[in-house]
Amino acid sequence: MAALSILMMTCFASAQDVELRSLDGSVELSGTIIGFDGEYYRIDSIFGPLTVNAQGVICRGPGCPDLENYVAEVRFMGAPVIAEQLFPALIERFANARGLTVRRQILAENRSLFALMRGEDETLAARFYITATTTDAGLQALLDRDTDVALALRPPDDTEANAAEAADQGDLSMVARSRVLALDALMPLVAPTNPIDALSLEDLARIFAGEITNWQDLGGPDAPIAVHLMDMASGHTQDVAARIMAPFDLRISDSAEQHADATDLADAVARDPYAIGIGRYSRTGNARPVPLRGACGFVQNATASSLKSEDYPLTAPLLMYLPVRRMPMMVRDFMRFFESQDADRVIRRLGFVNQGITTQPLAEQGERLANAVVAAGDEISLDDLQDLVTAMAGAERLSTTLRFEEGTTALDPQSLSAVSRLAREIERGAFDGRDLIFVGFSDGQGSAGANLRLSRGRAEAVRLAVIAAAEEGDLNRVSLQATGFGEALPMACDDSAAGRAVNRRVEVWLR
Amino acid sequence: MNISPRVIAIATIGLGVFTFGTLMSEARTATSRPLYLSAARSLFQQDTAPESLETVAMSANGLTSGGISPDEDLILPLDEPEPPTLPQPGQLAQAAEATTTMTDQALSPFGLPCGLSVSTTASEGAMVALDIMDPCQPHSRVIIEHSGLNLTGRTDVMGLLTMDVPVFENPAFFTVRMPDGTSDSSLALVPDLDSYYRVGLQWNEDRALELHAMEFGATYGDPGHIWLDHAGSIDRAVSGEGGFVMQVGSADVDNPMLAQIYSFPRDTLDDTGNVRLTIEAPVTETNCGQDTLARTLELEEDGRVSVIELTFTLPGCDAVGDYLVLQNLLHDLRVASN
């Protein structure tokens, strides 16, 4: 009996292993420590789990973590282009801006440990583990809690999203869960000596399905086409299958030569005048990008500005998916760092496109107006065009352009990120004293009247979303208006899903 | 050329936890670089003030600017108010004041006064010619620090060491440390640094790492495959033809630190494209299975140097004869024609 009570006493003592007392002594809590993120204690108390700011309390007891020597730790896993190309440089820049130095330890199985050391006393401030696998594996590891953050080249598909919900990992489509790190795009590549000037998405799909096998079928020389792709298991190739092949009900043929590295792919293509590959905007190596041409004649080049505005139909942002739980402070700082100008510079240097907002005078967009004239006819009248031209006069277009999932008012991930960026700029006062006009456009499917209403509705929805996101901004200093022009200013052909997605948009004009 | 079978193994190399002991502590000295930089800056901005010159030029044994050394030209202030009629006594007196502790003049076996002196001169290719002299420390291990780069050198029988180093900053600041604890610094203007892309790979111990550059889609053995055995030249870079690689540092000392540095001209003749960079190492009887400490240096567009310390283990001794190839540790150079 005596032994038992001693045992119970011991249990009790270890269960109450911390005591948190407020600085003025008025509040006292005791319980078991569940976690500490460098900023907040999480304890299991008699009131249930509680989160307590460490700055406001004094911790006593054996369970108290070491405040001074706390080491933040986080695991990232997923797409190699992010894990191996983007992250090391960003971590170095992030560390440098905080007076930390980086030590990278290369571990087995494509894993690296980046240790961030404090300069003054050589102590460890954070451990970032980064594993280069695939988008699939990263998202799966997020479900299995084998990683804290998944690095992805495509959004989770329905199966993955459902699995996440089932695994109690929350809704992966939520804004708070995803971040757009940088912009990139899928891009057809050929050797500099290859004469082809543009390709339609359908031609591209048929080449990679093995239906078009000779350059002669595309108006070129009589020579077989050598086809190059990234590994079938890569997020890149899955994105190709979903966005280039699936709209034409085609599948990737297995005759393609597969590569593990996007620059290897580009250089293999560059060496063979009869080769074609689908590479990435950021990794064109020594190959030549081929613009996309719609059946109606629009030609789309992948450029930094057409990626920022998603005017290029195969824009493919680099994504990061976060866990539901709170991350250590140093890690959250790192996430915020992605929105900084320092990070934007690194992103640009590495060949990716950053999300910094740029402007372009609408006057320089004569080509777009020409498109509008071409598209005018039965449903778009001269009056409509005159309205459009009047509205465009003297305005600039921001690179920020919002695009919608087909048949919905739901914004795609890049657009969600763009709303947040625009809101931060408004809060910063970047547009004080000026007019921001949200201008909606639709694709050409359905009646012109319905499309006009739809485009205005979407513009208003975006305006409200920006106002909601700019909660710290002074909205008296900037005027936010919404308008719409329906199908009046197409940028791509309406004959493909990708083209319609490009046309269905809300632009932001600045006056 | 003869190409060994290559192991494309970024991280399939096994690796345990290991420590670096003295190696690491040496490498750490470079982390205090901001300090040197600020010293460099003050020197640079006030190079007419004799006090600041003395601060920098004074080595730990205080003899740098003293004595009757015939090559004090770089160290002594040019606007020294002393009349030229009495050069030697005047300078001697001043040196004695500045150093106080040294009363009698120590001389080397060759009769030269002891003391460390360092001078730097910029040369073509964004390089600096480094002249290090300490007559009383012949055959000694010298540590040279520059912008995150740590190198070892060895003085000759006279205590002299010269080395040409492609630099990473302008003005280029060098600190030289001797085994007896003395150190000295020097600064050189390198006006053509803006004309180059530059990356470096530095390693500790005898690891035989190699920096390989594949210019504009070149493959192994092509003219555009630049590495130590086909290193290109400064002339090649100056004329806009392509890049060059240089190995710097001496392995002829204990705990050597060497580096290979690749430079590519920003203005090329006509090409636009990509230069891929890999780190490779032949797996040999000496380096197999060894833990390796290295660091990469990349000169960024804004003049900043991105430094990442690297640790990895070379493949085991059953892989002797193979090549370790580390991709993606250095970013490709994206060359745009203007």
* B273–A contact, CB cutoff 8 A: yes
In this complex, the residue of B28, B32, B274 whose CB is nearest that of residue A263 is: B274
Selected residue with higher pLDDT from B201 and A477: B201
Place of tokens 């006062």: A429
Query: Considering the entire predicted model, what is its pTM?
Result: 0.79
What CATH architecture does domain B29-76+85-95+108-191 belong to? Answer: Sandwich (2.60)
Q: With bands split at pLDDT 50, 70 and 90, how would you rate the model's confidence at B83? A: very low
Q: How far apart are the first and last CA of chain B?
A: 35
Tally A–B CB contacts below 8 A: 91
The predicted structure's pLDDT at residue B54: 34
Tens-digit pLDDT profile for residues B229-287:
999 999 999 998 999 999 999 999 999 999 999 999 998 876 678 999 999 999 999 99
Query: With an 8 Å Cβ cutoff, are A102 and B308 in contact?
Result: yes
The predicted structure's pLDDT at residue B137: 94
The predicted structure's pLDDT at residue A185: 96
Query: With an 8 Å Cβ cutoff, are A119 and B331 in contact?
Result: no
What CATH architecture does domain B6-26+195-335 belong to? Answer: Sandwich (2.60)
Q: What is the chain A residue with the closest CA to B8?
A: A260
Could you tell me which of B108, B180, B179 has the C-alpha nearest to residue B142?
B179
Residue B176 has pLDDT above 60, yes or no: yes
Measure the CA–CA gap between B146 and B30, rounded to whole angstroms. Answer: 8
The predicted structure's pLDDT at residue B107: 87
Cβ neighbour number for residue B73 with a 10 Å cutoff:
9
Could you tell me which of A275, A247, A243, A244 has the C-alpha nearest to residue A259?
A275
Query: With an 8 Å Cβ cutoff, are B331 and A263 in contact?
Result: no
Please enumerate, as own/partner, the contacts of A24-29 that have beta carbons within 8 Å and a separation of 24 or more.
A27/A57, A29/A57
Would you state the structure tokens that stand for residue B52, as one six-digit string?
Answer: 């600041």
Q: Give percent of chain B with pLDDT exceeding 90.
A: 58
Selected residue with higher pLDDT from B115 and A498: B115
Bridge partners of B143, per DSSP, are B152, B177
3 state SS for B182-244: CEEEEEECCHHHHHEEEEEEEEECCCCCEEEEEECCCCCCCCCEEECCECCCHHHHHCCCCCE
Would you state the structure tokens that stand for residue B232, as one six-digit string?
Answer: 């290109």
Segment among A122-136, A316-330, B59-73, B204-218 with least mean pLDDT: B59-73
Q: What are the structural domains of chain A? A: 2-60 (2.30.30.100), 72-180+319-335 (3.40.190), 186-308 (3.40.190.10), 357-510 (3.30.1330.60)
Contact B227, B210 (CB under 8 A): yes
Q: If you compute the radius of gyration of chain B from its CA atoms, what whole number of angstroms results?
A: 22
Residue A144 burial (10 A CB sphere; 0-12, 13-18, 19+)? exposed
The predicted structure's pLDDT at residue A498: 82
Residue B162 has pLDDT above 50, yes or no: yes
Residues in A touching B327 (Cβ below 8 Å): 261
Where are the domains positioned within chain B?
Answer: 6-26+195-335, 29-76+85-95+108-191
Measure the CA–CA gap between B119 and B129, rounded to whole angstroms. Answer: 8
ipTM above 0.90, yes or no: no
Tens of pLDDT along chain A (511 residues)?
A: 444 444 433 334 444 588 888 888 888 888 888 777 777 888 888 888 888 888 888 888 887 877 767 888 899 999 999 999 999 999 999 999 999 999 999 998 899 999 999 877 788 999 999 999 999 999 999 888 889 999 999 888 888 888 777 766 667 666 568 889 999 999 999 999 999 999 999 999 999 999 999 999 998 899 999 999 999 999 999 999 999 999 999 999 988 999 999 999 999 999 999 999 999 999 999 999 999 987 777 888 899 988 998 889 899 999 999 887 778 888 989 988 988 889 999 999 999 999 989 888 776 666 677 766 766 666 677 777 777 777 777 788 999 999 887 767 778 888 888 888 899 889 888 898 899 999 999 888 888 888 888 899 899 999 998 999 888 878 888 899 999 988 888 888 887 788 888 888 999 999 8
* Category of B238 on φ-ψ map: left (φ > 0), alpha (ψ -120 to 50) or beta: alpha
Query: With an 8 Å Cβ cutoff, are A271 and B312 in contact?
Result: no
CA atoms within 13 A on the CB side of A342: 17
* B326–A contact, CB cutoff 8 A: yes
Residues in A touching B307 (Cβ below 8 Å): 92, 101-102
Residue B31 has pLDDT above 70, yes or no: no
* B270–A contact, CB cutoff 8 A: no
The predicted structure's pLDDT at residue B326: 92
Q: What is the mean pLDDT of residues B72-80?
A: 38
The predicted structure's pLDDT at residue A29: 85
Query: In angstroms, what separates the C-alpha of A275 from chain B's closest C-alpha?
Result: 15
The predicted structure's pLDDT at residue B5: 41
Bridge partners of A300, per DSSP, are A292
The predicted structure's pLDDT at residue A1: 43
Query: In angstroms, what separates the C-alpha of B74 from chain A's closest C-alpha?
Result: 33
Residues in A touching B217 (Cβ below 8 Å): 267, 270-271, 285-286
The predicted structure's pLDDT at residue B72: 36
